[in-house]
């Protein structure tokens, strides 16, 4: 795990994970530590999720990830999610909604056709969702209203102010295409 003060060690809000888990029933946490994992099966910095094959959607289940937000970490994580969806995995990420960045446009928006859009409104989070189709995978992107209430890293010095990531967030879902 990263340094206790690092934004890369920021934790997923438990209520977000619980709400998503109702739908997806996650079997593994892709970017975790022994201290903060959200699923019984998880990858750590030492056992790099980006170097592994992930469970297949049929028969094994969905994977959850809140990848590190620091520069250079999101793009490889999104590429891996798309690759694994093309191989049959179901993946859900909580990632920054940095729509002006090259990675967001090149990996999330440009390669997909929008099938439909609708609003999401539940007690935990709300936003606008786009169902999309790429080559060899399907994608759903939910642009969340308001800032995500991330938790400080474990070991955070409570005498210091907590400044969570200063970006809006999206929940991205990738899965194999309908057959």
Rounded to an integer, what distance in angstroms lies between the CA atom of residue 73 and that of residue 85?
19
pLDDT at 179: 61
Residues in the chain: 179
Parent domain of 112: 7-152
- Residue 145 belongs to some domain of the structure: yes
Q: Is the confidence at residue 1, as pLDDT, over 60?
A: no
Q: How many CB atoms lie within 10 A of CB 47?
A: 10
Q: In 76-106, which positions are buried (b, 16+ CB within 10 angstroms) versus exposed (e)? A: ebbebbbbbbbebbbbbbbbbbbeebebbee
- Residue 98 belongs to some domain of the structure: yes
Q: Would you place residue 135 in the very low, low, confident or very high pLDDT band (cuts 50, 70, 90)?
A: very high
Q: How many CB atoms lie within 10 A of CB 10?
A: 21
- Residue 172 belongs to some domain of the structure: no
pLDDT at 2: 46
* Domain count of the fold of the chain: 1
- Residue 61 belongs to some domain of the structure: yes
- What average pLDDT does the segment 91-117 reach? 94
3-state helix, strand, coil in the chain (%, to 5): 20, 30, 50
Q: Would you place residue 10 in the very low, low, confident or very high pLDDT band (cuts 50, 70, 90)?
A: confident
- Residue 178 belongs to some domain of the structure: no
- Residue 28 belongs to some domain of the structure: yes
- Residue 105 belongs to some domain of the structure: yes
- What average pLDDT does the segment 96-116 reach? 94
pLDDT at 7: 60
pLDDT at 177: 86
- Residue 170 belongs to some domain of the structure: no
- What average pLDDT does the segment 14-29 reach? 95
Does 8 or 102 have the greater pLDDT score?
Answer: 102
Q: Is the confidence at residue 6, as pLDDT, over 80?
A: no
Q: Is the confidence at residue 115, as pLDDT, over 60?
A: yes
| Average of per-residue pLDDT values in the chain | 90
Please report, for residues 30, 124, 130, the alpha-carbon distance to residue 120 in angstroms, rounded to integers and kept in the order given: 25, 10, 10
């Amino acid at each position: 795990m990263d340094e206790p003060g690092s934004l890369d060690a920021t934790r997923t809000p438990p209520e977000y994970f619980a709400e998503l888990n109702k739908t997806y029933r996650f079997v593994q946490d892709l970017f975790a530590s022994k201290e903060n994992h959200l699923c019984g099966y998880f990858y750590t910095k030492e056992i790099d999720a980006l170097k592994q094959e992930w469970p297949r959607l049929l028969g094994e289940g969905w994977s959850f990830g809140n990848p590190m937000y620091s520069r250079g970490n999101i793009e490889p994580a999104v590429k891996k999610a798309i690759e694994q969806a093309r191989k049959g995995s179901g993946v859900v990420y909580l990632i920054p909604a940095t729509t002006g960045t090259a990675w967001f446009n090149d990996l999330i928006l440009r390669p997909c056709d929008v099938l439909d859009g609708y609003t999401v409104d539940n007690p935990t989070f709300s936003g606008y969702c786009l169902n999309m189709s790429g080559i060899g995978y399907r994608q759903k992107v939910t642009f969340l209203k308001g800032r995500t209430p991330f938790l400080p890293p474990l070991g955070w010095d409570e005498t210091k102010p907590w400044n969570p990531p200063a970006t809006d967030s999206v929940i991205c879902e990738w899965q194999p295409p309908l057959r």
